[in-house]
Structure 1
Amino acid sequence: MLTGVSVTLFSHFWNEPLDWTVYSILAYAFIVLFGTIAAFWLFQAAAEIIPADVAGMMETFDPVAATLLSMIFLGVSVNSWECIGGALILGAVAFLAVPSKHPFLIHYSRKARSKFSQTDKD
């Protein structure tokens, strides 16, 4: 939401003329149905099968995968800022995948695991 609001400071979408044709309405419906609703439903279904932390990490690869696929299939060019953003995403995923050695985080994760294991027994 913050990104959308900040973009409106530079690009005033309400000043752009819209030409709603049958094709544009179908394209918009396709994006809403398959790009949003179906994608979220499939993510929820996968989260029931695989662990939540794995599903969360896989979800972080979504922007990178979308960029790579658009480069391969649509011929989209990527600038240096987008490469830096992709590298930051991959770096954050790699950082989160490494177990933490910080004492507070170790204590917190043990406490959380014991809490969840107690609720499973109840």
Structure 2
Amino acid sequence: MNQLVQKNKTIGFILVILGASFWGIGGTVAQRLFQQENIEVGWLVSSRLLLAGILLIFIYKFTHRKDSIFVIWRTKKNAFRQILFSLVGMLAVQYTYMASISLGNAAVATMLQYLAPLFIMAYYLLTRQSSLTKHDGIAVTLTLIGTFLLLTNGSLSTFSVPTMAILWGVLSGLSVAFYTLYAVPLLQQFHSLLVVGWAMLIGGATMSIFHQPWQINLSSWTFETIGYFTFIVIFGTMFAFWFYIESLHYLSPKETSLLGSLEPLAAVVTSVVWLHIDFGFYQLLGTLLILCMILYLTTFQKNT
């Protein structure tokens, strides 16, 4: 039994690490697209969600030929849950994060987004579903300090941003917390491919009201541009969110949200290697703290 539990935990760790890494790398690739092609943020969000959602639902139908893709919509309760998850979870995570970046900068936006583990633990405490343990405190401390150092290189001047950027960033953290917690009841009834696929499709369709995917000039796109966009849709969106949500089958929302801090780590590492951005001493220290958090979580799980 213990071996089975440990095996499931290992699967969960692999899924969330891959999901967070894909999301972080996808952010770096998106930055390259913004710089080279001047692609508008709203267009990219609506396009990536629509295409990724269609692909996930197609994969589900291909692998579950006898099952209906509309099973979620058979009861009003589940339909309401799915729509709420799509708009307040999936779409909100995307939009609030991008809004914080556009009004401030990526460092502040990402740091505020990774307040999500604190919001999740606060929810558990308020609803008395669990108590705050010493292990939770150590993991959160390593995550927050590590993420801060990684994104700012230890400089508080990075946080000199407009109030609205901070507000959107905090809302981004709340959205990630909601997205992580609210997915659990849906996953207990339906396959993660369907839950995430429909969430992306609904979120993308809603965003398309304001930013139509078909309104784009493709004449200047090169094979390189197409490759970047394809990577963002398949790895930076489809696999990133699917793996993250699927990990909730094996890990608690607290563990999943903490391990999600690999996203800024992946983004910074790819920026350094690919975009040749400087990497400071405190960023290295932040990286080590995040890695220590991962080792701490995995070691602690093995000993419990």
Specify the code of the residue in structure 2 equivalent to 1:6.
Answer: I
Find the aligned partners of 2:84 and 2:9 in 1 and give their Cα distance: 21
For 1:51, the aligned partner's letter is N
Matches within 5 A, 1:1-122: 6-7=11-12, 21-72=75-126, 74-78=127-131, 80=133, 81-96=135-150, 97=152, 98-99=154-155, 108=278
Change (3 A) 1:109 1:82: closer
Paired letter, 1:76: Q
- Secondary structure at the aligned position of 2:90 is classed as helix
Contact 2:97–2:110 (Cα < 8 Å) also in 1: no
Q: Which runs of no fewer than 5 residues in structure 1 stay unpaired?
A: 8-17, 100-104, 111-122
> How many corresponding residue pairs?
91
Structure 2 distance, partners of 1:67, 1:37, is 23
TM superposition shift of 1:48: 0.4
In 2, distance between residues paired with 1:63 and 1:83? 11
* Equivalent position amino acid for 2:278 in 1: Y
What's the CA shift string for 1:22-48, capped at 9, x where partnerless? 212211221122111122112111210
Contact 1:61–1:89, Cα closer than 8 Å, also in 2: no
**Distance in structure 2 (CA, Å) of the matches to 1:95 and 1:109:** 11
Q: Which amino acid aligns with 1:40?
A: Q
Relative contact order: is structure 1 or structure 2 higher (C-alpha 8 Å, sep ≥ 6)?
Answer: 2
Conserved in 1, the CA contact under 8 Å of 2:118 and 2:140? yes
Structure with the greater alpha carbon radius of gyration? 1
How large is the Cα RMSD of the aligned pairs?
Answer: 3.6
How high is the TM-score relative to the length of structure 1?
Answer: 0.54
Q: TM-score with structure 2 length normalisation?
A: 0.25
The structure-2 alpha-carbon separation of the partners of 1:28 and 1:71, relative to structure 1 and needing over 3 Å to count, comes to farther
Which structure 2 residue ranges, 5 or more long, are not aligned? 1-7, 13-70, 156-271, 281-304
Q: Deviations over 1:63-111 (max 9, x none)?
A: 2223223422x33314534333322212313433415xxxxx9x9269x
